[in-house]
Structure 1
Amino acid sequence: MRVAVAGATGVLGRAAMPALRAAGHEVRGFARTPGDAEDTLAVDLLDRDRVVSLARDWRPEAIVHLATAIPKEAGRGDVAAQFAATNRLRTEGTRILIEAAAAAGGAELVAQSIAFVNVPGEGLAAEDVPLRDDPADPLTAAAAPIAELERLTLEAGGKVLRFGQLYGQG
């Protein structure tokens, strides 16, 4: 299967790219800073024309949205400002990837979400647990864009993967 990975050089993309290759998929990555990876292109996910054109030309069967711009100091200080770029990737970027999937001939979109913006409660959270909306809660800044990413992806027939806390090499 041909798979395009947005956010290919990020924390998740660096693990996903070789895993997809090892599973036998033909993989192409998109990243702001591709480094020296020969299968990763320098692409601004918010550059609609370029993203749609690349998808139309390469015609992936799946597009995996792992793009974020979360700074290493996230969580300390102004969380809303720290998540501003990531929130654009989760909203505008998702819309662009949905358009790119259509231009590719109907590629399936798989988007990364997060599980820790739910309202805290007892036990395991179900998918219908509301997202944080308390202005005093710093994670509220991430909740609305996550809700939009999930809604847009599901409405387009895609899949959403809600990840928990990540640990390890970042």
Structure 2
Amino acid sequence: MKIFIAGASGAIGSELVPQLVARGHEVVGTTRSVAKTDALRALGAEPVVVDALDPDAVADAVARAEPEVIVHQLTALSGPADFRHAKRTFEATNRLRTEGTDHLLAAGRAVGVRTFVAQSNSLWMERAGAPVVDEDARLEPAPPADAVPLVAALRHLEEAVTGIGWADGIAIRYGGFYGPGTDLSAAPDAVLTDGVRRRRFPIIGSGAGVWSMVHISDAAAATVAAIERGKPGIYHVADDEPAAVREWLPYLADTLGAKPPRRVPAWLVRMLAGDFAVDMMTRAPGISSEKAKRELGWTLRFPSWRTGFASGL
């Protein structure tokens, strides 16, 4: 198939492009930076420099590519997250998930794409209920004030993509990425890894929030399967071991040869940085990926973050 990947130079795009090319697909990949075009070409994609927030530029790029599939992997999450100013930190990504999604959908409809796959996120599933949820669960209906724009943007993306009637619309709620090209990798400039080594990534409060993790190569493989065999709707993509922050974070620190993470009272973090980080660290549920394995035939290279942290960073 001819596949148009918006955000092809990002962490998952860089894994997704070679996997698709290896399976015989023709890939056109977008980037915001001219400097990244050679890297995309080396991965096997035809690079296109485009501003995803410019509807005319998006429409022109998609029209020229004439793809059968559009894959939306656009974010603007490079650099350390500043949870004290969460609205500002995630503002650009929120626009890509709202305006950028709408531009890509309009362009895709104009050329008659048959499948549209988009990146969502599992960290803001509804807090009430089970510690691990499937695709029937909804996004958190009453997030903290500093997370409202982010959750609203995720909701817009999911509803817009899965609600299209002219193509198969698929939203993938990924777990937390780790591995090459992510903020949690062996690279010296990996933000989360560096934070753990410097003991700047603490366990907040109870640390009872359950996170689901996924190696970036596994996330890309699930995306390939969704492109080729997915049905309209939502898929969860993460490994088989959702775990509380107080469990996986000390294990990660030990794996990295770092000191155990500090513990910080929730009230103190809430006072200094707001509710955003406290909520994620203490209330988040994990996700089950049984649907993706059952319907897509997806198998994990790293079924657990335990082996993944040890050998997959």
Common fold: TM-score over 0.5:
yes
> In the alignment, is residue 41 of structure 1 matched against residue 48 of structure 2?
yes
1:158 is paired with a residue whose SS is: strand
Q: Per the alignment, do residues 137 and 165 of structure 1 end up closer, same or farther by CA in structure 2, a change over 3 Å counting?
A: farther
User: Are the equivalent residues in 1 in contact too, given 2:53–2:100 (CA < 8 A)?
Assistant: yes
Question: Which amino acid in 2 is paired with 1:96?
Answer: H
2:169 is aligned, of 154, 158, 169, to 158
Tell me how far 1:75 sits from its aligned partner: 4.9
User: Are the equivalent residues in 2 in contact too, given 1:91–1:145 (CA < 8 A)?
Assistant: yes
Counterpart for residue 147 of structure 1: 155
> Aligned-residue CA RMSD in angstroms?
1.8
Q: Per the alignment, do residues 40 and 24 of structure 1 end up closer, same or farther by CA in structure 2, a change over 3 Å counting?
A: same
User: Are the equivalent residues in 1 in contact too, given 2:50–2:61 (CA < 8 A)?
Assistant: no
> In the alignment, is residue 25 of structure 1 matched against residue 25 of structure 2?
yes
2:171 is paired with a residue whose SS is: strand
User: Are the equivalent residues in 2 in contact too, given 1:132–1:139 (CA < 8 A)?
Assistant: no
Tell me how far 1:138 sits from its aligned partner: 4.5
Q: Which has the higher helix share?
A: 2
2:176 is paired with a residue whose SS is: coil
> In the alignment, is residue 86 of structure 1 matched against residue 86 of structure 2?
no
1:89 is paired with a residue whose SS is: helix
Question: Which amino acid in 2 is paired with 1:47?
Answer: D
Tell me how far 1:115 sits from its aligned partner: 1.0
> In the alignment, is residue 126 of structure 1 matched against residue 134 of structure 2?
yes
Which of 39-48 and 29-38 deviates more?
29-38
Q: What is the CA–CA distance in structure 2 between the aligned matches of 1:141 and 1:46, rounded to whole Å?
A: 17
Tell me how far 1:80 sits from its aligned partner: 1.2
Aligned 1:58-77 pairs, distance under 5 A:
58-77=65-84
2:29 is paired with a residue whose SS is: strand
Q: What is the CA–CA distance in structure 2 between the aligned matches of 1:14 and 1:115, rounded to whole Å?
A: 21
Question: Which amino acid in 2 is paired with 1:76?
Answer: F
Which of 42-51 and 83-92 deviates more?
42-51
Per-residue Cα deviation, 1:66-117 (whole angstroms, up to 9, x for no partner): 0000132115321111110000000001101111111222342100111111
Matched positions, count: 170
Q: What is the CA–CA distance in structure 1 between the aligned matches of 2:106 and 2:138, rounded to whole Å?
A: 28
Tell me how far 1:6 sits from its aligned partner: 0.3
Q: Which has the higher contact order (CA 8 A, sep 6+)?
A: 1
Q: What is the CA–CA distance in structure 2 between the aligned matches of 1:150 and 1:131, rounded to whole Å?
A: 10
Q: What is the CA–CA distance in structure 2 between the aligned matches of 1:106 and 1:14, rounded to whole Å?
A: 22
2:14 is paired with a residue whose SS is: helix
Question: Which amino acid in 2 is paired with 1:109?
Answer: F
Query: What TM-score do the two structures reach when normalised by structure 1?
Result: 0.91
Query: What TM-score do the two structures reach when normalised by structure 2?
Result: 0.51
Tell me how far 1:134 sits from its aligned partner: 4.1
Which of 18-27 and 48-57 deviates more?
48-57
Identity %: 36
List runs of 5+ in structure 1 lacking aligned partners.
none
